[in-house]
């Protein structure tokens, strides 16, 4: 029996008449009769006895019915799954973020997205920028979220949000009483910031230089989390991204904006010309709504324009 014959047989078993089966299938009565006749001729066994305008299934028809019903139950399941995939209620998100982003607002946005869509499954990785780019370019990951600058011939980017490097310090530090910290107030204070090879170190050095400050850098770190831990233990003021602290508060530790600000852009990173899943489209829309809320005052503006990376 081919699929069309199975479909007609199943409809006749449900309706009990050729007319009813034709109505279920949205076809003409003669077409149902023709398919049924060819099916019985091919099988060389009768499937129905015709009495009083109704079709009565033979024992052979009753014997194969459970298996055929199972087939159509699976087809219904596939149909529901396709509708759910289109609607973004199921599927798999394959994501990666730079360390402070993945452990900060990206994790928070994934959690709230999954709360609305319990059928969604997620792979979320925290990676160094170079590894993040390689994974996206090779299409091992559908979406990356990282800090500028991003330069790779196989990826394209969109700006997700602009925010700034902040002063992270103990809440009993004298500068913690201020809503903003002027960069010149850091003169002479122990500073914790990134290693020279880190992308954001250049931003920090330039801002300090423009303020006429020769920084007293006491500790250099590779990760924002390490800088925050050092600030918590009193080693100085950490000039780092406050992403993690915004979404995963540490009692006794605060972040204060710098004046003038040290702006940085967070980028959505995708493989160039890669197909985009429906579920990822729904997640990106959710992420764009959630990030300004999660970052609060740290999110200065949002730019959704697309830019291709040369």
In this structure, what token pair is assigned to residue 33? 């009769």
Q: In this structure, what DSSP letter does residue 301 have?
A: B
- pLDDT band of 218, cuts 50, 70, 90: very high
- Right CATH for 3-87 from 1.10.10.10, 3.40.50.1110, 3.40.50.300, 1.10.1530.10: 1.10.10.10
CATH class held by domain 91-310: alpha beta
Q: Is the pLDDT of residue 285 over 80?
A: yes
User: Tokens 């394959």 — which residue?
Assistant: 94
Partner residues linked to 263 by β-bridges: 164
What per-residue confidence (pLDDT) applies to 79? 65
153-156 — which CB contacts under 8 Å span 24+ positions?
153/272, 153/309, 153/310, 154/271, 154/272, 155/269, 155/270, 155/271, 155/272, 155/309, 156/269, 156/270, 156/271, 156/272, 156/306, 156/307, 156/308, 156/309
Residues of the chain with pLDDT > 70, as a percent, come to: 91
The three-class DSSP label of residue 81 is: helix
At 301 the pLDDT is 42
Which of the four pLDDT bands, split at 50, 70 and 90, describes residue 93?
A: confident
DSSP class of residue 298 equals G
Contacts of 95 (CB under 8 A, 6+ apart): 102, 106, 110, 122, 123, 124, 125, 141, 142, 143, 144, 145, 283
Percentage of residues in the chain with pLDDT exceeding 90?
42
pLDDT bracket for residue 109 (50, 70, 90): very high
Backbone angles phi, psi at 55, to 5 degrees: -105, 125
The predicted-structure confidence for 65-80, as pLDDT tens digits, reads as follows 888 888 887 777 666 5
Q: How far apart are CA 139 and CA 147, in angstroms?
A: 19
pLDDT in tens, 144-173: 999 888 888 899 999 999 888 999 999 999
Domain segments of the chain: what residues?
3-87, 91-310
pLDDT tens digit string along 260-282? 988 889 999 999 988 888 888 99
Structure tokens at 285: 């829309």
């Amino acid at each position: 029996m081919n699929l069309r014959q199975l479909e007609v047989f199943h409809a006749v078993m449900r309706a009990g008449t050729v007319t009813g089966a034709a109505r279920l299938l949205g076809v003409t009565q003669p077409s149902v009769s023709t398919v049924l006749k060819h099916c019985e001729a091919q099988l060389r066994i009768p499937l129905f006895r015709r009495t009083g305008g109704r079709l009565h299934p033979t024992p052979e028809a009753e014997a194969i019915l459970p298996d055929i019903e199972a087939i159509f139950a699976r087809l219904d399941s596939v149909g529901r799954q396709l509708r759910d995939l289109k609607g973004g209620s199921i599927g798999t998100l394959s994501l990666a973020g730079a360390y402070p982003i993945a452990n900060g607002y990206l994790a928070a946005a994934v959690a709230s997205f999954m709360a609305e869509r319990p059928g969604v499954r997620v792979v979320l990785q925290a990676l160094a920028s170079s590894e993040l780019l390689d994974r996206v370019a090779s299409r091992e990951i559908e979406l990356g979220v990282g800090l500028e600058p991003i330069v790779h011939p196989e990826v394209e980017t969109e700006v997700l949000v602009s925010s700034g490097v902040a002063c992270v310090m103990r809440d009993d530090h004298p500068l913690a009483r201020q809503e903003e910290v002027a960069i010149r107030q850091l003169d002479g204070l122990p500073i914790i910031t990134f290693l020279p090879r880190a992308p954001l170190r250049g931003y920090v050095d330039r801002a300090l230089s423009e303020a006429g400050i020769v920084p007293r850098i006491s500790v250099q770190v590779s990760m924002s989390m390490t800088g925050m831990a050092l600030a918590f233990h009193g080693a100085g003021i950490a000039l780092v991204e406050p992403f993690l602290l915004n979404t995963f508060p540490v009692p006794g530790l605060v972040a204060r904006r710098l004046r003038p600000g040290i702006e940085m852009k967070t980028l959505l990173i995708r493989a160039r010309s890669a197909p985009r899943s429906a579920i990822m489209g729904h997640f990106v829309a959710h992420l764009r709504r959630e990030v300004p809320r999660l970052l609060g005052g740290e999110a200065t503006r949002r730019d959704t324009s697309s830019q291709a990376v040369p």
